[in-house]
């Protein structure tokens, strides 16, 4: 084969390759063109294999022409590839384009859990009297959960709390070596000691949190429940102050015309102790299962902080007096929303939660 014949073949190959590159309509077709013309068994390689039969002085010129064609085809392919990518992007953007004139899709709006909402409402109401919310541990020592609250080990009131004890490696319940005894708090009252030991009077504290007792679970009892503790300590605090705060609290939650009452109660950490009742919201005083046929619903228990508890909190009972009260926020939420089963709060059933 002569130099002229090879040169003519290279020219024809160039025209065909550039035409096929321009007509390729997707990356796969472009890849096929590359393999057909520039691959190891492609047409350009077949033509250039004939260089071996040419005179030595003609080989460089023909080889340079072949390289020039290869470069031109590769550049054309790169331009075509960028163009195809641009077309694909335009198609995708057109398909994904949003019509901003269309009405928006409705968004599902969540809501607060009824227990959290009730806690916040209680804190909002009592916050108007200067009460500040504090967080205290869920795992307590026996000393803070019982003994500092005037409930020694042999006190019969311990039978009211079915305690869940935690046994760390270095201590066990009733450790004879004198180590600390840990337990899951049975009420939020230990928070009183934490606050009195860290905050100087005047004190107005709210102590919300989970409590734990080893109880059988039914519609009105749970082994895990929520309480809210209130504590006020100052010079000259009286039982009348407690009555005034609780009256306003009950009216804020259940209506300004809701009747309330104090009646005698007993708690080891308060003296005197009282129960605070409101007229039953369900039956309006006629008697029902919620109020145990009495017409009154017990909202919370409280009383004047016992001098022993004040002393254990690091305060002088001759100078300071205070009152404390504690309520089950689960029970308050049940009454507010007309819920008959406490277990619904922790089942996370959306059919229930979406109603509130």
Answer whether residue 215 shows pLDDT above 50: yes
> CA 291 to CA 276: how far, in whole Å?
13
State both tokens at 72: 């031109």
Confidence of residue 34 (pLDDT cuts 50, 70, 90): confident
**Which segment of 45-54, 140-149, 306-315, 333-342 scores lowest on mean pLDDT?**
45-54
> CA 232 to CA 249: how far, in whole Å?
14
- 107 φ, ψ (degrees, to nearest 5): -95, 135
Confidence of residue 178 (pLDDT cuts 50, 70, 90): low
Residue 170 vs residue 203, higher pLDDT: 203
233: nearest Cα among 301, 300, 150, 316? 316
**Helix H or strand E segment including 73:** helix 59-96
**Helix H or strand E segment including 182:** strand 182-184
Residue 231 vs residue 1, higher pLDDT: 231
Residue 203 vs residue 174, higher pLDDT: 203
Answer whether residue 176 shows pLDDT above 70: no
Confidence of residue 27 (pLDDT cuts 50, 70, 90): confident
- Give residues with Cβ within 8 angstroms of 332, minimum separation 6: 118, 122, 253, 299
**Which segment of 155-159, 194-198, 294-298, 326-330 scores lowest on mean pLDDT?**
155-159
Q: What is the mean pLDDT of the chain?
A: 86
Answer whether residue 339 shows pLDDT above 60: yes
Instruction: Evaluate the CA torsion angle 237, 241, 243, 247 in order and state its sign.
Output: negative
Cα of 126 vs its chain's centroid, Å: 25
Residue 145 vs residue 110, higher pLDDT: 145
- Interval 341-346 mean pLDDT: 86
> What is the model's pLDDT at position 168?
53
Q: Exposure of 252 by Cβ count < 10 A (0-12 exposed, 13-18 middle, 19+ buried)?
A: middle
pLDDT, one tens digit per residue, over 108-141 is 777 888 899 999 999 999 999 999 999 999 999 9
- Interval 165-178 mean pLDDT: 56
Confidence of residue 204 (pLDDT cuts 50, 70, 90): very high
Beta bridge partners of 223: none
State both tokens at 111: 């809501």
DSSP letter at 294?
Answer: S
Residue 235 vs residue 176, higher pLDDT: 235
Residue 239 vs residue 218, higher pLDDT: 239
> What is the model's pLDDT at position 340?
80
> What is the model's pLDDT at position 195?
96
Residue 273 to residues 80, 125, 158, 290: CA-CA distances in angstroms? 90, 23, 17, 23
- Interval 168-176 mean pLDDT: 48
Confidence of residue 177 (pLDDT cuts 50, 70, 90): low
State both tokens at 295: 């017409």
> What is the model's pLDDT at position 169?
41
- 184 φ, ψ (degrees, to nearest 5): -80, 125
**For residues 84 and 26, is the Cβ–Cβ distance under 8 A?**
yes
- 124 φ, ψ (degrees, to nearest 5): -65, -45
pLDDT, one tens digit per residue, over 289-328 is 777 888 898 889 999 999 999 999 999 999 999 999 999 9
Answer whether residue 179 shows pLDDT above 60: yes
pTM above 0.85, yes or no: no
188: nearest Cα among 156, 144, 238? 144
Rounded to 10°, the helix 59-96/3-23 angle is: 0
**For residues 303 and 262, is the Cβ–Cβ distance under 8 A?**
no
> What is the model's pLDDT at position 77?
87
Query: Cis peptide leading into 202, omega within 30 of 0?
Result: yes
- 221 φ, ψ (degrees, to nearest 5): -135, 145
Confidence of residue 250 (pLDDT cuts 50, 70, 90): very high
Answer whether residue 238 shows pLDDT above 60: yes
210: nearest Cα among 233, 184, 177, 231? 184
């Amino acid at each position: 084969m002569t130099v002229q014949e090879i040169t003519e073949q290279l020219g024809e190959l160039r025209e065909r390759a550039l035409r096929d590159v321009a007509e390729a309509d997707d990356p796969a077709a472009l890849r096929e063109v590359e393999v057909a013309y520039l691959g190891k068994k492609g047409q350009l390689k077949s033509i250039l294999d004939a260089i071996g039969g040419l005179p030595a002085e003609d080989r460089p010129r023909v080889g340079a022409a072949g390289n020039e064609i290869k470069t031109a085809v590769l550049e054309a392919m790169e331009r075509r590839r960028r163009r195809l990518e641009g077309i694909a992007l335009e198609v995708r953007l057109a398909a994904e384009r949003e019509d901003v004139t269309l009405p928006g899709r409705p968004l599902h709006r969540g809501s607060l859990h009824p227990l959290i909402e009730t806690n916040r409402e209680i804190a909002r109401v009592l916050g108007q009297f200067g009460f500040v919310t504090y967080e205290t541990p869920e795992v307590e020592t026996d000393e803070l959960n019982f003994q500092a609250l005037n409930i020694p080990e042999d006190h019969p009131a311990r039978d009211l709390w079915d305690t869940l004890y935690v046994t760390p490696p270095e201590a066990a319940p009733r450790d004879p070596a004198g180590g600390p005894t840990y337990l899951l708090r049975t009420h939020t009252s230990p928070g009183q000691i934490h606050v009195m030991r860290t905050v100087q009077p005047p004190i107005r504290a709210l102590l919300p949190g989970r409590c734990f007792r080893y109880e059988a679970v039914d519609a009105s009892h749970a082994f895990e429940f929520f309480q809210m503790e209130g504590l006020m300590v100052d010079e000259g605090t009286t039982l009348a102050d407690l009555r005034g705060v609780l009256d306003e609290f009950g009216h804020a939650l259940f209506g300004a015309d809701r009747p309330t009452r104090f009646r005698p109660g007993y708690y080891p950490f308060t003296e005197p102790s009282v129960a605070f009742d409101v007229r039953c919201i369900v039956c309006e005083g006629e008697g029902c299962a919620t109020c145990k046929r009495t017409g009154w619903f017990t909202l919370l228990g409280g009383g004047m902080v016992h001098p022993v508890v004040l002393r254990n909190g690091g305060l002088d009972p001759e100078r300071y007096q205070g009152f404390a009260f504690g309520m089950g926020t689960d029970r308050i939420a049940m009454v507010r929303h007309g819920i008959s089963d406490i277990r619904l709060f922790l089942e996370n059933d959306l059919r229930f939660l979406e109603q509130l």
